[in-house]
Amino acid sequence: MASAGRTGVGTNQEDVRRHNLGTVLGHVHGAGRISRSDLTSRMGLNRSTIGGLVGELEALGLTAKGKSVGARAGVGRPSVDVLAGPGAVVLAADVRVDGLSVARVGLGGIVQARATGPAPAGHDPEVTADSVAELMRLVLKDIDPSVPVVGVGAAVPGIVRADDGFVRLAPNLGWHEVPFSALLAERLGGGMRPVLGNDADLGAVSEHLRGAGVGVDDLVYLSGEVGVGAGVVVAGRPLEGAGGYAGEIGHVPFVPDGKLCHCGARGCWETEVGGVAIAAAVGCPPDRIPSLGEFLDGIHEASPELRQVAWHIGRGLAGMVNLLNPRVIVLGGYLRPLLPLVRDDVDAAFAEHALAAPRELARITLPGLGADSVLVGAAELAFGRLLQDPVGTLTDSYASAGSVVA
Ligand SMILES: [Zn+2]
Protein backbone atom coordinates (compact mmCIF):
# COMPACT_ATOMS: atom_id res chain seq x y z
CA MET A 1 0.00 0.00 0.00
CA ALA A 2 1.40 3.44 -0.93
CA SER A 3 2.32 5.59 1.98
CA ALA A 4 0.79 9.03 2.36
CA GLY A 5 2.61 12.28 1.63
CA ARG A 6 4.44 11.20 -1.51
CA THR A 7 2.72 13.67 -3.80
CA GLY A 8 1.87 17.36 -3.79
CA VAL A 9 3.66 20.50 -2.75
CA GLY A 10 6.71 20.08 -0.55
CA THR A 11 7.33 16.42 -1.42
CA ASN A 12 11.06 16.91 -1.26
CA GLN A 13 11.03 18.44 2.18
CA GLU A 14 8.65 15.77 3.34
CA ASP A 15 10.92 13.06 1.95
CA VAL A 16 13.92 14.56 3.69
CA ARG A 17 12.04 14.76 6.98
CA ARG A 18 10.93 11.14 6.73
CA HIS A 19 14.42 10.07 5.87
CA ASN A 20 15.78 11.99 8.86
CA LEU A 21 13.18 10.42 11.15
CA GLY A 22 14.44 7.00 10.04
CA THR A 23 18.06 7.98 10.58
CA VAL A 24 17.38 9.30 14.09
CA LEU A 25 15.45 6.15 14.92
CA GLY A 26 18.30 4.04 13.53
CA HIS A 27 20.76 5.70 15.90
CA VAL A 28 18.45 5.26 18.89
CA HIS A 29 17.67 1.65 17.96
CA GLY A 30 21.34 0.80 17.45
CA ALA A 31 22.50 2.35 20.71
CA GLY A 32 19.42 1.59 22.85
CA ARG A 33 19.89 5.03 24.40
CA ILE A 34 21.70 8.08 23.13
CA SER A 35 21.99 11.71 24.21
CA ARG A 36 20.45 14.47 22.10
CA SER A 37 23.83 16.10 21.77
CA ASP A 38 25.29 12.85 20.36
CA LEU A 39 22.43 12.72 17.87
CA THR A 40 23.08 16.34 16.91
CA SER A 41 26.74 15.69 16.21
CA ARG A 42 26.20 12.32 14.47
CA MET A 43 23.59 13.72 12.10
CA GLY A 44 25.08 17.16 11.55
CA LEU A 45 21.71 18.83 12.13
CA ASN A 46 21.01 21.63 14.56
CA ARG A 47 19.60 21.12 18.01
CA SER A 48 16.10 22.35 17.26
CA THR A 49 15.74 20.15 14.14
CA ILE A 50 16.81 17.12 16.20
CA GLY A 51 14.37 18.19 18.89
CA GLY A 52 11.52 18.27 16.36
CA LEU A 53 12.39 14.86 14.92
CA VAL A 54 12.73 13.28 18.36
CA GLY A 55 9.42 14.85 19.41
CA GLU A 56 7.69 13.28 16.44
CA LEU A 57 9.21 9.84 17.10
CA GLU A 58 8.22 10.15 20.74
CA ALA A 59 4.62 10.95 19.78
CA LEU A 60 4.62 7.74 17.73
CA GLY A 61 5.91 5.78 20.73
CA LEU A 62 9.11 4.87 18.90
CA THR A 63 11.37 6.73 21.31
CA ALA A 64 11.07 7.82 24.92
CA LYS A 65 12.71 10.42 27.14
CA GLY A 66 15.32 9.44 29.67
CA LYS A 67 17.45 11.30 32.15
CA SER A 68 20.96 11.46 30.81
CA VAL A 69 23.34 9.09 32.57
CA GLY A 70 26.42 10.30 30.74
CA ALA A 71 26.09 14.07 31.28
CA ARG A 72 29.15 15.73 32.72
CA ALA A 73 28.44 18.03 35.62
CA GLY A 74 28.84 21.73 34.95
CA VAL A 75 29.04 21.51 31.15
CA GLY A 76 26.13 23.42 29.68
CA ARG A 77 22.54 22.32 30.14
CA PRO A 78 21.99 18.71 31.20
CA SER A 79 21.43 16.65 28.07
CA VAL A 80 18.32 14.51 27.82
CA ASP A 81 18.81 10.93 26.60
CA VAL A 82 16.61 9.46 23.92
CA LEU A 83 15.61 5.86 24.61
CA ALA A 84 14.15 3.19 22.37
CA GLY A 85 10.38 3.37 22.76
CA PRO A 86 7.72 0.69 23.25
CA GLY A 87 5.60 1.57 20.21
CA ALA A 88 6.63 -1.17 17.77
CA VAL A 89 7.82 -4.76 17.85
CA VAL A 90 9.02 -7.32 15.35
CA LEU A 91 8.86 -11.09 15.25
CA ALA A 92 12.08 -13.01 14.66
CA ALA A 93 12.66 -16.69 13.94
CA ASP A 94 15.80 -18.80 13.85
CA VAL A 95 15.06 -21.93 11.81
CA ARG A 96 17.79 -24.46 12.56
CA VAL A 97 18.27 -28.08 11.62
CA ASP A 98 18.02 -29.03 15.29
CA GLY A 99 15.19 -26.77 16.44
CA LEU A 100 13.21 -23.55 16.13
CA SER A 101 13.57 -20.35 18.15
CA VAL A 102 11.19 -17.42 17.93
CA ALA A 103 11.24 -14.08 19.71
CA ARG A 104 9.32 -10.86 20.01
CA VAL A 105 11.89 -8.10 19.87
CA GLY A 106 11.47 -4.43 20.66
CA LEU A 107 13.40 -1.37 19.51
CA GLY A 108 16.90 -1.36 20.90
CA GLY A 109 17.15 -5.07 20.14
CA ILE A 110 15.48 -6.08 23.39
CA VAL A 111 14.13 -9.64 23.39
CA GLN A 112 10.73 -9.26 25.10
CA ALA A 113 9.47 -12.82 24.83
CA ARG A 114 10.77 -16.04 23.36
CA ALA A 115 9.58 -19.53 22.51
CA THR A 116 11.34 -22.61 21.23
CA GLY A 117 10.19 -25.78 19.57
CA PRO A 118 11.58 -28.91 17.96
CA ALA A 119 12.42 -29.01 14.28
CA PRO A 120 9.59 -30.90 12.54
CA ALA A 121 10.51 -34.43 11.50
CA GLY A 122 11.94 -34.40 8.00
CA HIS A 123 11.99 -30.57 7.99
CA ASP A 124 8.89 -30.38 5.83
CA PRO A 125 8.65 -26.69 4.83
CA GLU A 126 4.87 -26.47 5.33
CA VAL A 127 5.04 -28.04 8.79
CA THR A 128 8.02 -25.86 9.67
CA ALA A 129 6.01 -22.76 8.68
CA ASP A 130 3.09 -24.04 10.82
CA SER A 131 5.38 -24.43 13.83
CA VAL A 132 7.07 -21.05 13.41
CA ALA A 133 3.69 -19.30 13.08
CA GLU A 134 2.46 -21.12 16.18
CA LEU A 135 5.52 -20.01 18.18
CA MET A 136 5.01 -16.45 16.93
CA ARG A 137 1.46 -16.44 18.24
CA LEU A 138 2.82 -17.68 21.58
CA VAL A 139 5.29 -14.80 21.95
CA LEU A 140 2.56 -12.28 21.12
CA LYS A 141 0.16 -13.58 23.76
CA ASP A 142 0.95 -11.13 26.53
CA ILE A 143 1.55 -8.04 24.38
CA ASP A 144 -0.56 -4.89 24.42
CA PRO A 145 -2.74 -5.56 21.34
CA SER A 146 -2.47 -1.95 20.17
CA VAL A 147 1.30 -2.31 19.58
CA PRO A 148 1.94 -2.88 15.87
CA VAL A 149 4.11 -5.70 14.59
CA VAL A 150 6.17 -3.81 12.04
CA GLY A 151 8.05 -6.71 10.54
CA VAL A 152 8.84 -10.41 10.56
CA GLY A 153 12.33 -11.75 9.97
CA ALA A 154 13.49 -15.34 9.71
CA ALA A 155 16.98 -16.81 9.62
CA VAL A 156 17.49 -19.95 7.57
CA PRO A 157 20.65 -22.09 7.34
CA GLY A 158 21.00 -21.85 3.61
CA ILE A 159 21.17 -19.76 0.49
CA VAL A 160 18.35 -17.25 0.47
CA ARG A 161 17.08 -14.97 -2.27
CA ALA A 162 16.01 -11.90 -0.33
CA ASP A 163 13.87 -10.32 -3.10
CA ASP A 164 11.09 -12.89 -2.99
CA GLY A 165 11.88 -14.84 0.18
CA PHE A 166 12.87 -18.04 -1.58
CA VAL A 167 15.26 -20.46 0.04
CA ARG A 168 17.32 -21.50 -2.97
CA LEU A 169 19.11 -24.27 -1.13
CA ALA A 170 19.32 -25.28 2.51
CA PRO A 171 21.23 -28.56 2.17
CA ASN A 172 20.88 -29.67 5.78
CA LEU A 173 17.11 -29.05 5.78
CA GLY A 174 16.77 -30.73 2.40
CA TRP A 175 15.12 -27.55 1.04
CA HIS A 176 15.47 -26.62 -2.60
CA GLU A 177 13.59 -23.60 -4.02
CA VAL A 178 11.24 -23.32 -1.05
CA PRO A 179 9.06 -20.14 -0.96
CA PHE A 180 9.37 -19.99 2.82
CA SER A 181 8.47 -16.32 3.14
CA ALA A 182 5.16 -16.94 1.34
CA LEU A 183 4.44 -20.07 3.40
CA LEU A 184 4.92 -18.13 6.60
CA ALA A 185 2.95 -15.11 5.34
CA GLU A 186 -0.06 -17.34 4.58
CA ARG A 187 -0.08 -18.62 8.15
CA LEU A 188 0.43 -15.25 9.83
CA GLY A 189 -2.09 -13.29 7.79
CA GLY A 190 -2.54 -9.60 8.57
CA GLY A 191 -0.55 -8.45 5.54
CA MET A 192 2.73 -9.68 7.02
CA ARG A 193 5.59 -10.07 4.57
CA PRO A 194 8.35 -12.02 6.31
CA VAL A 195 11.89 -11.22 5.23
CA LEU A 196 14.43 -14.04 5.06
CA GLY A 197 18.15 -14.00 5.65
CA ASN A 198 21.00 -16.45 5.91
CA ASP A 199 21.68 -17.41 9.54
CA ALA A 200 25.39 -16.56 9.51
CA ASP A 201 24.83 -13.26 7.72
CA LEU A 202 22.31 -12.25 10.39
CA GLY A 203 24.64 -13.35 13.19
CA ALA A 204 27.28 -11.08 11.69
CA VAL A 205 24.84 -8.16 11.53
CA SER A 206 23.83 -8.41 15.19
CA GLU A 207 27.33 -9.08 16.52
CA HIS A 208 28.53 -6.06 14.56
CA LEU A 209 25.75 -3.84 15.90
CA ARG A 210 25.44 -5.10 19.47
CA GLY A 211 27.88 -7.91 20.23
CA ALA A 212 31.56 -8.82 20.01
CA GLY A 213 32.05 -6.71 16.90
CA VAL A 214 30.86 -3.30 18.09
CA GLY A 215 33.19 -0.68 16.66
CA VAL A 216 34.92 -3.27 14.45
CA ASP A 217 34.58 -2.78 10.70
CA ASP A 218 35.92 -6.15 9.53
CA LEU A 219 34.52 -9.25 11.13
CA VAL A 220 33.40 -12.77 10.41
CA TYR A 221 30.60 -14.57 12.25
CA LEU A 222 30.71 -18.33 11.94
CA SER A 223 27.45 -20.18 12.49
CA GLY A 224 28.67 -23.58 13.59
CA GLU A 225 25.41 -25.48 13.47
CA VAL A 226 24.81 -28.80 11.75
CA GLY A 227 26.05 -26.89 8.73
CA VAL A 228 28.67 -24.17 8.89
CA GLY A 229 28.32 -20.75 7.28
CA ALA A 230 30.07 -17.42 7.53
CA GLY A 231 28.62 -13.94 7.70
CA VAL A 232 31.23 -11.43 6.65
CA VAL A 233 31.35 -7.71 7.33
CA VAL A 234 33.95 -5.83 5.28
CA ALA A 235 34.65 -2.15 5.89
CA GLY A 236 31.46 -1.96 7.95
CA ARG A 237 29.24 -3.45 5.27
CA PRO A 238 27.93 -6.99 4.80
CA LEU A 239 29.74 -8.93 2.08
CA GLU A 240 26.98 -10.20 -0.19
CA GLY A 241 28.46 -11.31 -3.49
CA ALA A 242 26.75 -11.05 -6.87
CA GLY A 243 23.60 -12.88 -5.78
CA GLY A 244 23.80 -12.44 -2.01
CA TYR A 245 25.22 -15.93 -1.56
CA ALA A 246 28.72 -15.12 -0.30
CA GLY A 247 29.97 -16.79 2.87
CA GLU A 248 29.22 -20.48 2.25
CA ILE A 249 32.49 -21.39 3.87
CA GLY A 250 31.13 -24.73 5.08
CA HIS A 251 31.19 -25.88 1.47
CA VAL A 252 34.73 -24.82 0.69
CA PRO A 253 36.52 -27.97 -0.55
CA PHE A 254 38.73 -29.08 2.35
CA VAL A 255 39.60 -32.79 2.23
CA PRO A 256 40.27 -34.46 -1.15
CA ASP A 257 37.81 -37.35 -1.57
CA GLY A 258 36.54 -36.67 1.94
CA LYS A 259 33.16 -37.44 3.47
CA LEU A 260 29.98 -36.90 1.45
CA CYS A 261 28.39 -33.53 2.23
CA HIS A 262 24.66 -32.72 2.20
CA CYS A 263 25.34 -30.33 -0.69
CA GLY A 264 26.33 -33.32 -2.84
CA ALA A 265 30.07 -32.67 -2.92
CA ARG A 266 32.76 -34.50 -0.99
CA GLY A 267 35.15 -33.22 1.63
CA CYS A 268 33.54 -29.84 2.33
CA TRP A 269 34.88 -28.09 5.48
CA GLU A 270 31.62 -28.71 7.36
CA THR A 271 31.98 -32.47 7.00
CA GLU A 272 34.98 -32.10 9.36
CA VAL A 273 33.81 -29.31 11.69
CA GLY A 274 29.97 -29.25 11.47
CA GLY A 275 27.56 -30.46 14.14
CA VAL A 276 27.59 -34.04 12.84
CA ALA A 277 31.40 -34.23 13.01
CA ILE A 278 31.47 -32.72 16.50
CA ALA A 279 28.74 -35.10 17.68
CA ALA A 280 30.64 -38.10 16.33
CA ALA A 281 33.82 -36.92 18.07
CA VAL A 282 32.11 -36.70 21.48
CA GLY A 283 30.00 -39.85 21.13
CA CYS A 284 26.69 -37.97 20.88
CA PRO A 285 24.24 -40.14 18.91
CA PRO A 286 22.96 -38.45 15.71
CA ASP A 287 19.39 -38.31 17.04
CA ARG A 288 20.60 -36.37 20.08
CA ILE A 289 22.28 -33.59 18.09
CA PRO A 290 19.65 -31.06 19.27
CA SER A 291 21.18 -31.46 22.75
CA LEU A 292 24.80 -31.42 21.52
CA GLY A 293 25.34 -28.11 23.34
CA GLU A 294 24.51 -29.72 26.68
CA PHE A 295 26.70 -32.69 25.73
CA LEU A 296 29.63 -30.34 25.20
CA ASP A 297 28.91 -28.46 28.44
CA GLY A 298 29.27 -31.78 30.28
CA ILE A 299 32.74 -32.51 28.88
CA HIS A 300 35.81 -31.35 30.76
CA GLU A 301 38.61 -32.78 28.68
CA ALA A 302 38.81 -33.04 24.92
CA SER A 303 39.27 -36.50 23.40
CA PRO A 304 41.80 -37.03 20.58
CA GLU A 305 38.83 -37.09 18.17
CA LEU A 306 37.61 -33.73 19.40
CA ARG A 307 41.13 -32.30 19.23
CA GLN A 308 41.23 -33.43 15.60
CA VAL A 309 38.02 -31.47 14.93
CA ALA A 310 39.64 -28.48 16.64
CA TRP A 311 42.67 -28.80 14.37
CA HIS A 312 40.40 -28.66 11.32
CA ILE A 313 38.63 -25.61 12.77
CA GLY A 314 41.94 -23.82 13.24
CA ARG A 315 43.06 -24.63 9.69
CA GLY A 316 39.77 -23.39 8.26
CA LEU A 317 39.95 -20.18 10.29
CA ALA A 318 43.49 -19.67 8.98
CA GLY A 319 42.23 -19.87 5.40
CA MET A 320 39.50 -17.40 6.19
CA VAL A 321 41.91 -14.96 7.83
CA ASN A 322 44.36 -15.23 4.93
CA LEU A 323 41.53 -14.45 2.52
CA LEU A 324 39.57 -11.76 4.37
CA ASN A 325 41.88 -10.18 6.98
CA PRO A 326 39.16 -9.71 9.62
CA ARG A 327 39.85 -8.14 13.00
CA VAL A 328 37.36 -10.34 14.85
CA ILE A 329 36.10 -13.87 14.20
CA VAL A 330 33.04 -14.75 16.25
CA LEU A 331 32.35 -18.45 16.77
CA GLY A 332 28.63 -19.13 17.15
CA GLY A 333 26.42 -22.20 17.34
CA TYR A 334 28.06 -25.39 18.65
CA LEU A 335 31.46 -23.76 18.24
CA ARG A 336 30.51 -21.61 21.25
CA PRO A 337 30.50 -24.40 23.87
CA LEU A 338 33.27 -26.19 21.94
CA LEU A 339 35.87 -23.43 21.85
CA PRO A 340 36.72 -23.32 25.58
CA LEU A 341 37.39 -27.09 25.47
CA VAL A 342 39.83 -27.01 22.57
CA ARG A 343 41.10 -23.44 22.48
CA ASP A 344 44.79 -24.48 22.50
CA ASP A 345 44.38 -26.82 19.53
CA VAL A 346 42.40 -24.27 17.54
CA ASP A 347 45.01 -21.62 18.26
CA ALA A 348 47.91 -23.93 17.37
CA ALA A 349 46.44 -24.95 14.01
CA PHE A 350 45.48 -21.36 13.32
CA ALA A 351 48.99 -20.13 14.11
CA GLU A 352 50.57 -22.80 11.92
CA HIS A 353 48.46 -22.07 8.85
CA ALA A 354 47.62 -18.35 8.96
CA LEU A 355 50.00 -15.76 7.55
CA ALA A 356 51.61 -13.72 10.29
CA ALA A 357 50.41 -10.28 9.21
CA PRO A 358 46.64 -10.95 9.11
CA ARG A 359 46.94 -13.44 12.01
CA GLU A 360 48.36 -10.82 14.34
CA LEU A 361 45.35 -8.58 13.74
CA ALA A 362 42.69 -11.27 14.15
CA ARG A 363 40.96 -12.12 17.43
CA ILE A 364 38.99 -15.36 17.73
CA THR A 365 36.17 -14.87 20.20
CA LEU A 366 32.75 -15.97 21.46
CA PRO A 367 29.53 -14.13 20.54
CA GLY A 368 28.70 -11.08 22.65
CA LEU A 369 25.02 -12.00 22.33
CA GLY A 370 25.51 -15.57 23.51
CA ALA A 371 23.12 -17.97 21.81
CA ASP A 372 20.94 -15.10 20.50
CA SER A 373 23.12 -13.66 17.71
CA VAL A 374 21.15 -15.14 14.84
CA LEU A 375 17.74 -14.50 16.42
CA VAL A 376 18.57 -10.86 17.15
CA GLY A 377 19.98 -10.57 13.62
CA ALA A 378 16.65 -11.78 12.22
CA ALA A 379 14.97 -9.04 14.25
CA GLU A 380 17.34 -6.45 12.73
CA LEU A 381 16.21 -7.63 9.32
CA ALA A 382 12.57 -7.24 10.37
CA PHE A 383 13.17 -3.69 11.65
CA GLY A 384 14.68 -2.65 8.31
CA ARG A 385 11.55 -1.11 6.88
CA LEU A 386 10.62 0.84 10.02
CA LEU A 387 14.12 2.34 10.12
CA GLN A 388 13.81 3.38 6.46
CA ASP A 389 10.48 5.11 6.90
CA PRO A 390 8.96 5.09 10.41
CA VAL A 391 5.82 7.06 9.55
CA GLY A 392 5.06 5.18 6.33
CA THR A 393 5.56 1.82 8.01
CA LEU A 394 3.31 2.62 10.95
CA THR A 395 0.53 3.95 8.71
CA ASP A 396 0.80 1.03 6.30
CA SER A 397 -1.33 -2.06 6.36
CA TYR A 398 0.80 -3.93 8.84
CA ALA A 399 -1.11 -5.92 11.39
CA SER A 400 -1.41 -5.04 15.00
CA ALA A 401 -0.38 -7.79 17.38
CA GLY A 402 -4.05 -8.40 18.06
CA SER A 403 -4.83 -9.53 14.53
CA VAL A 404 -1.94 -12.02 14.44
CA VAL A 405 -2.93 -13.61 17.71
CA ALA A 406 -6.58 -13.87 16.63
ZN1 LIG B 1 29.11 -29.18 1.01
CA distance 66 to 155: 33
* pLDDT at residue 299 greater than cutoff 70: yes
- In the chain, the amino acid numbered 271 is T
CA–centroid distance, 212 to ligand 1, in Å, is 28
CA–centroid distance, 74 to ligand 1, in Å, is 61
Average pLDDT, the chain: 91
CA–centroid distance, 29 to ligand 1, in Å, is 37
CA–centroid distance, 231 to ligand 1, in Å, is 17
CA–centroid distance, 294 to ligand 1, in Å, is 26
The DSSP code sequence of 317-378 is: HHHHHHHH--SEEEEEETHHHHHHHHHHHHHHHHHHHS-HHHHHH-EEE--TTGGGHHHHHH
Contacts of 378 (CB under 8 A, 6+ apart): 92, 93, 94, 153, 154, 155, 197, 202
CA–centroid distance, 66 to ligand 1, in Å, is 50
CA–centroid distance, 157 to ligand 1, in Å, is 13
**Total residue length of the chain:** 406
Cα distances from 273 to residues 18, 172, 309, in angstroms, run: 47, 14, 6
Contacts of 341 (CB under 8 A, 6+ apart): 296, 299, 300, 301, 302, 306, 310
Domains 89-201+373-405 and 213-367 share a fold: yes
CA–centroid distance, 253 to ligand 1, in Å, is 8
* pLDDT at residue 70 greater than cutoff 70: no
Provide the pLDDT for residue 10: 55
Helix (H) or strand (E) holding 12: helix 11-31
Q: Where residue 283 falls among pLDDT bands split at 50, 70, 90? A: very high
CA–centroid distance, 176 to ligand 1, in Å, is 14
CA distance 394 to 331: 36
CA–centroid distance, 229 to ligand 1, in Å, is 11
Per-residue pLDDT, averaged over 212-237, amounts to 95
CA–centroid distance, 169 to ligand 1, in Å, is 11
User: Is CATH 3.30.420.40 correct for 89-201+373-405?
Assistant: yes
CA distance 345 to 242: 35
- In the chain, the amino acid numbered 194 is P
CA–centroid distance, 181 to ligand 1, in Å, is 24
CA distance 240 to 297: 34
CA distance 279 to 264: 21
Output Rg (C-alpha) for the chain, integer angstroms: 22
CATH of domain 213-367: 3.30.420.40
The dihedrals phi and psi of 376, each to the nearest 5 degrees, come to -65, -35
The DSSP code sequence of 279-327 is: HHHHT--GGGGGGHHHHHHT--S--HHHHHHHHHHHHHHHHHHHHH--S
Greatest CA separation for the chain: 73
CA–centroid distance, 373 to ligand 1, in Å, is 24
CA distance 265 to 242: 22
Give buried/exposed letters for 174-207 (b at 16+ CB in 10 A, else e).
ebeebbbbebbbebbebebebbbbbbbbbbbbbb
CA distance 86 to 129: 28
Taking the alpha carbons at both ends of the chain, their separation in whole angstroms is 23
User: How far is residue 229 CA from its own chain's centroid?
Assistant: 13
pLDDT tens for each residue of 159-216: 999 889 999 999 889 999 999 999 999 999 988 899 999 999 999 999 999 999 999 9
CA distance 28 to 397: 25
Decide which of 1.10.10.10, 3.30.1360.20, 1.10.3720.10, 3.20.20.80 is the CATH code for 11-84. 1.10.10.10
Per-residue pLDDT, averaged over 49-64, amounts to 95
* pLDDT at residue 301 greater than cutoff 90: yes
CA–centroid distance, 223 to ligand 1, in Å, is 15
pLDDT tens for each residue of 310-354: 999 999 999 999 999 999 999 999 999 999 999 999 999 999 999
Q: Where residue 294 falls among pLDDT bands split at 50, 70, 90? A: confident
Map out the domains of the chain as residue ranges.
11-84, 89-201+373-405, 213-367
CA–centroid distance, 230 to ligand 1, in Å, is 13
CA–centroid distance, 262 to ligand 1, in Å, is 6
Q: Is the whole-model pTM more than 0.85?
A: yes
Q: At what angle do helices 125-140 and 180-188 cross, to 10 degrees?
A: 40
pLDDT tens for each residue of 125-152: 999 999 999 999 999 999 998 899 999 9
Query: What pairs with residue 230 in β-bridges?
Result: 222
CA distance 17 to 12: 9
CA–centroid distance, 336 to ligand 1, in Å, is 22
CA–centroid distance, 46 to ligand 1, in Å, is 53
Helix (H) or strand (E) holding 100: strand 99-106
Provide the pLDDT for residue 380: 97
CA distance 84 to 109: 9
